[in-house]
Structure formats: structure tokens, C-alpha cells
Amino acid sequence: MRCKQSLVTRSHVANAAMALIVVFGLTSLVSQAQTFTVLHSFSGEGDGANPLAGLSMDQAGNFYGTASLGGRGYGTVYELERHGSSWTLDPLYQFRGIPDGFFPEARVIIAADGTLYGTTFYGGATRGGCVQGGPVQCGTVFHLTPPPTTVCNTVVCSWTETQLYNFNPAGAVFWPNFGDLVFDRAGNLDGVAFTGGHSDNGGVYQLTPSNGDWTETEFRFPTGGNNAQPVGGVILDSAGNLYGTTYGKPAGENYGTVYELMPSGSGWTLSTLYTFQNGSDGGSPRADLIMDSVGNLYGTASVGASGVGGTVWELSPSGGSWNFNVIYSFPGSTFGPFSPVLMDAAGNLYGTTLAGGVFQQGSVFKLTHINGAWTYTSLHDFTGGSDGRSPYGHLIFDASGNLYGTAGWGGSTGNGVVWEITP
């Protein structure tokens, strides 16, 4: 049994309640075939605020996630626990800033023993150099373990945080952001850091466990070329190769890449699989990739294409090279998909846009694959009211095929929501 922390929610004034009635009315107009439900609306207090990351699910069907702010003001890690048809949010850890981390943007991942691993974009040990004119805020990799039930006899009981690594700006990569961590077969943790290294291009880091400690090695994207500043994390294939995207440096007309890192001796060999042109292909990918059973890669581009709103695309291996194909181009939203796509058993894709949809507050969509073609369906258009707005994070299915995600803002107090869509 996990220890619980009770929450105090804010009261709402009468005009806010009226706004919720209007929003629910609008929501029913744009969600016809599915049922959209807010499972938790963040208060900005002990539970957190601005859940930019998506959710991870344990074997019991409970969810774990991060809120980038709230708690003590530096973000939280939470559990959303299922109780029949209802849900209870339990804050597991509240970050304290410089000592232990600040602003978690990525999901936590669940290890085989039920403990959690994640990153914070800022915070960590004081080294200097990451934020001009301020204290060190280079980011951390952390590990959370639950307290023994024998010593936790109150309702307020935090998990224990251990910092596995504090990023160092002295020539190294730093600022891990939205990308997932991933365990390889050897038990190493792989992730990406947005900047630092050669020409502030960022890179991929690996943490190797050794005698109760962790050793960091990294691949820094080289000066020159188009590989620069990864936002999305890496994924692994069966051979141990890593795949990811770089955001690029749009001010220099560098709109990102899809890359592969192959193990080579004690290091990695870089291959660029595709370079975005910010044309019909899109540009500035920000999300993790997914790979299907035959090795095709699927991803999103946040901007570009004919409608300016970004793309969903496929990259297929063919005779030692890769073929790029746009699956869908989004019309005219300021920001398109910032999150990865999710594939169901039938090969259909699901995703979100940050500022698309009828109300330009973000959307949840499905791309159905029929006879070699893709058909777009809107599952929910966010209104920016009680249903939330601006979904950033990963989507996830439960065993019944229900779809879950987060929205970074909106909700009853404007601090974001966790939501469910049932078919």
C-alpha cells in the first residue's frame, strides 16, 4: 500500500462555474463519437501545475506523471490511482529547485521493481554556467523509490529522490527536456540533452550503473551538418541502435533531422536518415519516434508543410536507404504536433496538436489506415476551458482501448488536466 497525501483544492467563484457550463456545451459539439472526461484538474498547489509530459501506466492500470510547476514551486511527480470508476491523485514527490531539480518536462518511466526514473530540465548541484546571470540550472536525472510502509504511518509521506546525474555545462551536453529515458538490455539509461557540447548542438547521453553509482558518457552532435538540439528522446531497435530526431536551429534555416546512432566500440557512429526542409515535409520535430514491427519509423514535425501546421510522417528502410512519406499535413494552426504518435494493434495512429482544432487550443486526432491511405478524424478539440488546452505529452492506451493524456494548461484553475477519451 502506498502512502497518500491529501490535497486542498481552491474554491471557485460563480462566474468561473458559469464558464464551465459554457465550455461543457462546446465540448459536446465537437466530441460526437467519443466521450471526453477530465480525470484530474491541477490546482497549482500540492498536486502540481502544467503537466507537459504524458503518462506511464503500471500493471495495475495506475498512471504516473510529472507536473512542471506547482508543489513547492518547482514541479511534482504524481500517481493517478484508479478506484473503480473514479481516480485519486497522490503527489509522490515535490521538487525543491537547485538542490534536487526543477521543471520536470518528461515522463517518468517505471522500472521492473516499480521505482521511477525521470529528468528535470533545470536544477541540480551548483556548478555555474547554464543560466546567464543566475545560479546553475543544468538539469538532473533522478530516481524515486517509495518509502517502506513500516515507517510511513501518516497520510503525508513522500517518496525518496536520488540524483543519478547532475548535468555539467563545462563542454558537456545539458538541459534534458521532453524526451523519454529508455533502458537498454544492459541496464543502461539513454536520453537526450538539448544543448551544450559542440556549437551548443546537444547530444545523447548514457548512464551506466557501476557499484551503486552511475557513470555518464555522451555523444555530442558535431559542428556542421544538420543534427542539432534534440528535443524528443531516443528509441532502441533489437540490435541496440538508437533512433531520434533533432529540432534543428530554424534561425539558421536548419529544420532538424532523423538520426541513427549505432554502437561502435566504446562509442557511437552517427547516420542521418532524413533532413527536414520545412516544405511539404514539415520541420522542427520535437517528439520521440515510434517503430512498427517491420522497422518503419513514425514521427511528427511541429511546423511547416502546405498548411503550416506540421506533419505526421513515415520513414521506411529500403535497400540500405530510407524512404520518407508524409502521412498527413495539418492545416493552418500556429503549432502542430509536439507529441509522438501512438499506434494501435490495427496500425492506426493517434496524436495531438498543440494549438490546432476548431478553437486553436489543441486537438486529439486519429489517422486510420485503410487500403494504403490515411483518413483523419478529430477525437476532441480542446476549448481552452475546463477541458484544458495545449497538449504536449505522450498518449497511452489502457487494456480496454481507452485513450489517456494531459493538457498543459486550462482546466478548472488554468493549471492543466489529465483526460480520458473512451470509444
d(CA 291, CA 128): 39
The burial of 183, by beta-carbon neighbours within 10 Å (0-12 exposed, 13-18 middle, 19 or more buried), is given as middle
How many helices and strands in the chain, by DSSP H and E? 1, 30
Top pLDDT among 330 and 4 is at 330
**35: containing domain:** 1-166+407-423
Give the mean pLDDT of 51-60.
96
Q: Which of 19-23, 288-292, 305-309 has the lowest mean pLDDT?
A: 19-23
The burial of 99, by beta-carbon neighbours within 10 Å (0-12 exposed, 13-18 middle, 19 or more buried), is given as middle
E runs forming strands in 276-340: 290-291, 297-301, 308-318, 321-331
The predicted pLDDT at position 152 comes to 65
Top pLDDT among 125 and 14 is at 125
pLDDT higher than threshold 70 for residue 15: no
The DSSP line for 47-110 is: T-B---S--EE-TTS-EEEEESB-TTTT-EEEEEEEETTEEEEEEEEE--BTTTBB---SPPEE
The predicted pLDDT at position 143 comes to 97
Listed residue (294, 295, 276) closest to 286, CA to CA = 276
Top pLDDT among 411 and 171 is at 411
Q: What is the mean pLDDT of the chain?
A: 88
**Beta strand pairing call for 308-318 and 297-301:** antiparallel
- Please write down the long-range contacts of 33-37, taking CB distance under 8 Å and 24 or more positions apart: 33/379, 33/423, 34/379, 34/380, 34/421, 34/422, 34/423, 35/421, 35/422, 36/379, 36/380, 36/387, 36/419, 36/420, 36/421, 37/419, 37/420, 37/421, 37/422
Query: Does 114 reside within a domain?
Result: yes
Banded model confidence at residue 128, pLDDT cuts 50, 70, 90? low
Report the percent of the chain where pLDDT is more than 90. Answer: 75
Bridge partners (DSSP) of residue 362 are none
Digit-coded pLDDT (tens) for 347-374: 999 999 999 899 999 999 999 999 889 9
Give the mean pLDDT of 73-91.
94
E runs forming strands in 225-278: 235-236, 242-246, 257-264, 267-275
Query: Does 125 reside within a domain?
Result: yes
Give the mean pLDDT of 155-167.
86
d(CA 79, CA 47): 10
Say if CB 329 and CB 307 are below 8 A apart: yes
Banded model confidence at residue 18, pLDDT cuts 50, 70, 90? very low
Banded model confidence at residue 99, pLDDT cuts 50, 70, 90? confident
Give the mean pLDDT of 119-131.
76
d(CA 96, CA 75): 8
- State the total domains in the chain: 1
Cα-Cα-Cα-Cα dihedral of 66, 19, 351, 286, to 10°? -60
Query: Does 28 reside within a domain?
Result: yes
Query: Does 37 reside within a domain?
Result: yes
Digit-coded pLDDT (tens) for 213-239: 999 999 999 998 899 999 999 999 999
Element (H, E) at 342: strand 342-343
Q: Which of 77-91, 150-164, 359-373 has the lowest mean pLDDT?
A: 150-164
d(CA 56, CA 65): 7
Query: Does 291 reside within a domain?
Result: no
Query: Does 105 reside within a domain?
Result: yes
Banded model confidence at residue 158, pLDDT cuts 50, 70, 90? confident
Give the mean pLDDT of 121-140.
70
Query: Does 381 reside within a domain?
Result: no
Phi, psi of 65 (to 5 degrees): -160, 180
Q: Which of 53-57, 100-104, 143-147, 250-254 has the lowest mean pLDDT?
A: 250-254
Element (H, E) at 20: helix 14-30
pLDDT higher than threshold 60 for residue 14: no
Top pLDDT among 236 and 98 is at 236
Query: Does 69 reside within a domain?
Result: yes
Structure-block grid coordinates of residue 408:
498543459
Digit-coded pLDDT (tens) for 266-304: 899 999 999 999 999 999 999 999 999 999 999 999 998
The predicted pLDDT at position 32 comes to 47
